[in-house]
Chain A
Amino acid sequence: MLELIWLLPTFPLLGFLALVLTGGRLPKQIAGPIGAGSIGLSFAVAALVASEFLNSGLEHFTYEAWVWMSVGGFNPGFTFYLDGLSMVMMLIITGVGFLIHLYATGYMSDDPSFARFFSYMNLFVSAMLMLVLGDNLVLLYLGWEGVGLCSYLLIGFWYTNPANGYAARKAFVVTRVGDTSMAIGLFLLFAQLGTLNIQDMLHAAEMQWSVGSGFAVAASLLLLGGAVGKSAQLPLQTWLPDAMAGPTPISALIHAATMVTAGVYLIARTHPLFEMAPSVQLLVALIGLITLLLSGFTAMTQSDIKRILAYSTVSQIGYMFLGLGVGAWSAAIFHLMTHAFFKALLFLASGTVILSLHHEQNIFKMGGLRKALPVSFFSFLIGSLALTAFPYTSGYFSKDEILLGALELEGVGFWFWLGGVVGAFFTGIYTFRLFFIVFFGDSQAEHPPEKEVGGWHMNGPLILLMILALAGGFIHVPLDAVFNHGEAHGEHHVSGLIHGIMIAVPLLGIAISYLFFMSKTFSVEKLMASALAKKLHAFWFGGWGFDTLYNAVLVSPFLFLARVNRKDIIDSFYALIVSVSQAANALIVKSQTGSLRWYALTVAGGLVVMVSLGAIL
């Protein structure tokens, strides 16, 4: 039964082939069932395999489909490795993926490129499954680049608008920086350890390298570079907010639930390597902490509903990095799972809002939608509560575990905990700012919604995700076998005060948000009156000036060089060869007069010359 694991990436791949080989011309009635059905089949197989795996009591299971290539001692294969970690990931990808596909059959039903959309989506799921199931880093890298490609294709899905194409290129180029670092990391690992099979590699690393040795630090740093690019963490976080140019189901699937968490998965998968480089592990936590705080500030100032959610995604992945960095591995993966539930819910609900308002994304042009859009209202309510870690929602359990894990770290742990709590405070403010502005107050809509768009294939996934976002915290994640050696077992022993603070702070954020945006006890206008506040607002609105900085430091010099070297200095050498042969050609063309008598004369002349040469010599 476990052997069926090879079917997981195969179904979406077949769906992709069916859709792409018909040239995207299949009618919606066929393309929709193929696109969503292939993921549904995958999920069914995943559930079957997972239950079998849990019942078998195995720690891990390897299935080799075939050897990809065999060069010397290097034999990466299409080999699938199933353990607690990859099982959780595959269930998230196929389960949440299926709900989002189902939603998309309704959301995209008016789009002329319906079949093309689902072909990309299926390819994405196939690549993502290879990423998490691959037992070697080469297969992981194949999936890694595959999801990057699909992300690019789907951000630029509405390619007729040049801005979307620009956003797609930006996402591709920025993540490429991280991918290059990761590729170098793979080269280093292979050169030093002689294998790219993940388990063998980790084992060899523990045998050959000592804790804190140069190679361990370099390898984990390079892998961290890849993770930072894919997961939109500082300093490569700039692409994710712009990636919201894609259709909303894409934002839910790729840019919230699955692909952006690939970096978290990578670090968790290679965590023994990071444990051997404590300085890098500390850096992971620091990156997470800074990212979650910076993007929290930015999310408070945005006005586009999807950009707010995008910055909150960056912030929540920051929490996961914080969890990884402090060694709370399973807490980070747990948060990855709950985040996939409630963030997919929030994005899909925002899709319903956007569609009902005829593609309006500015929250200040919404308002008072509570009655008109009841399904979105409840989705947002539950999603926002989970996002702010309201007690006993899914986000509460996972965020708690991360923060308690931080507290257990000696020395700097308290500061990481404090930063995380401050971040939770901001989460409360920006999440409920969005919620209050969109669903309460007076309607500011230019085109008030006639009725909520929906139907069972849009509302069904929302309702299921609501249940998961509420109750997802009670799911037991079977990760003990994966992370057992590095983690303290048993309950966290902390005082009631700490618990009280962690419950109260997000509520405080919600209360402040209520006073500002709901009861209007405090006025945002007054707060914004001073020049300093305006400057700060503009600074945060632009994402702490990272885009400006990168434009000035990287983009402008590059464009300058491109302009200077427009004629390509190196190419001029080859242009010289061309012009010389062209000149020779022009010279010889003159002798081709087309006159028969001229040719006869040259033949006779040539003969005379030859004969006289023979006579003389």
Chain B
Amino acid sequence: METIPVEHGFILAGILFCLGLIGVLTRRNVVFVLMSLEIMLNASGLAFIVAAARWGHAEGQVMFLMILTLAAAEVAVGLGLIIQMFRRFQTVDINVLSEMKG
């Protein structure tokens, strides 16, 4: 079986990361912002896996498991915050929440 070149894996991870970043910066709906953050996390996880496969080390996979756990916890907290935000402000538009201005 032919192996996938390591560059392809890194390029894919880079593209995914940029897509996620663009999503965070441009989206106004806070649910989509959270989803974009997940994409960025998974992009970095992919980079770890690719690197671990290339050099045959197990640490990359350990890191991925940790990122997975972190993402799960982050989603739980993030969704909780979003629910609170919706209850208080009746909106999920992130631009409305600018009370800390200046």
Judged by a CB distance under 8 angstroms, whether A596 is at the interface is yes
Judged by a CB distance under 8 angstroms, whether A71 is at the interface is no
What CA separation (Å) do A604 and B23 show in the bound complex?
13
Query: Which chain B residues in 16-33 approach chain A with CB under 8 Å?
Result: 21, 24-26, 28, 33
Query: Which chain B residues in 59-102 approach chain A with CB under 8 Å?
Result: 94-95, 97-102
The one of B95, B99, B102 that contacts A597, using a Cβ cutoff of 8 Å: B95
Min CB–CB distance B25 → chain A (angstroms): 5
- Is A593's CB under 8 angstroms from B24's CB? no
Judged by a CB distance under 8 angstroms, whether A207 is at the interface is no
Please, which residues of chain A bring their CB within 8 A of the CB of B94? 595-597
What CA separation (Å) do A601 and B26 show in the bound complex?
10
Min CB–CB distance B100 → chain A (angstroms): 4
Please, which residues of chain A bring their CB within 8 A of the CB of B97? 594, 596
* Interface flags, A152-178, vs B, CB<8A=1, else 0: 000000000000000000000000000
- Is A595's CB under 8 angstroms from B98's CB? yes
Category for how many chain B residues contact A = 10 to 19
Given the interface pairs A595-B95, A597-B94, A597-B95, the reply to whether A604 lies near B25 with Cβ below 8 Å is yes
What CA separation (Å) do A350 and B100 show in the bound complex?
72
Min CB–CB distance B97 → chain A (angstroms): 7
- Is B21's CB under 8 angstroms from A604's CB? yes
What CA separation (Å) do A110 and B100 show in the bound complex?
61
The one of A592, A600, A601, A604 that contacts B102, using a Cβ cutoff of 8 Å: A592
The one of B24, B99, B100, B101 that contacts A600, using a Cβ cutoff of 8 Å: B24
- Is B100's CB under 8 angstroms from A594's CB? yes
Min CB–CB distance B98 → chain A (angstroms): 3
* Interface flags, A586-609, vs B, CB<8A=1, else 0: 000110111111001100100000
What CA separation (Å) do A601 and B33 show in the bound complex?
13
The one of A589, A590, A593, A600 that contacts B25, using a Cβ cutoff of 8 Å: A600
Please, which residues of chain A bring their CB within 8 A of the CB of B95? 595, 597
The one of A592, A597, A601, A604 that contacts B101, using a Cβ cutoff of 8 Å: A592
- Is A594's CB under 8 angstroms from B102's CB? yes
Least CB separation from B95: chain A residue: A595
Please, which residues of chain A bring their CB within 8 A of the CB of B25? 597, 600-601, 604
Please, which residues of chain A bring their CB within 8 A of the CB of B28? 597
* Interface flags, B16-54, vs A, CB<8A=1, else 0: 000001001110100001000000000000000000000
- Is B102's CB under 8 angstroms from A590's CB? yes
Query: Which chain A residues in 562-617 approach chain B with CB under 8 Å?
Result: 589-590, 592-597, 600-601, 604
The one of B24, B33, B100 that contacts A592, using a Cβ cutoff of 8 Å: B100
Min CB–CB distance B48 → chain A (angstroms): 18
What CA separation (Å) do A600 and B21 show in the bound complex?
9
What CA separation (Å) do A600 and B94 show in the bound complex?
12
Least CB separation from A607: chain B residue: B21
- Is A594's CB under 8 angstroms from B24's CB? no
Please, which residues of chain A bring their CB within 8 A of the CB of B101? 592-595
What CA separation (Å) do A604 and B18 show in the bound complex?
11
The one of B21, B26, B33, B98 that contacts A593, using a Cβ cutoff of 8 Å: B98
What CA separation (Å) do A604 and B26 show in the bound complex?
13
Least CB separation from A600: chain B residue: B24
Question: Which of A592, A596, A601, A604 has the most chain B CB within a 10 Å cutoff?
Answer: A596
Please, which residues of chain B bring their CB within 8 A of the CB of A589? 102
Please, which residues of chain B bring their CB within 8 A of the CB of A593? 98, 101-102
What CA separation (Å) do A600 and B28 show in the bound complex?
13
What CA separation (Å) do A595 and B24 show in the bound complex?
12
Least CB separation from B102: chain A residue: A589
Least CB separation from B101: chain A residue: A594
- Is B98's CB under 8 angstroms from A594's CB? yes
- Is A597's CB under 8 angstroms from B24's CB? yes
What CA separation (Å) do A512 and B24 show in the bound complex?
109
Min CB–CB distance B78 → chain A (angstroms): 12
What CA separation (Å) do A85 and B8 show in the bound complex?
109
Min CB–CB distance B39 → chain A (angstroms): 14
Question: Which of A589, A590, A597 has the most chain B CB within a 10 Å cutoff?
Answer: A597
Min CB–CB distance A583 → chain B (angstroms): 15
- Residue positions of B touching A, CB distance < 8 A: 21, 24-26, 28, 33, 94-95, 97-102
Further contacts, 7 of them, CB under 8 A, given A589-B102, A592-B101, A594-B99: A593-B98, A593-B102, A595-B101, A597-B24, A597-B26, A597-B28, A604-B25
30 A-B pairs whose Cβ atoms sit less than 8 Å apart in the complex: A589-B102, A590-B102, A592-B100, A592-B101, A592-B102, A593-B98, A593-B101, A593-B102, A594-B98, A594-B100, A594-B101, A594-B102, A595-B94, A595-B95, A595-B98, A595-B101, A596-B33, A596-B94, A596-B97, A597-B24, A597-B25, A597-B26, A597-B28, A597-B94, A597-B95, A600-B24, A600-B25, A601-B25, A604-B21, A604-B25
- Residue positions of A touching B, CB distance < 8 A: 589-590, 592-597, 600-601, 604
Please provide the 5 A-B residue pairs with the shortest distance between their CB atoms, ordered closest to farther.
Answer: A594-B101, A594-B98, A594-B100, A589-B102, A592-B102
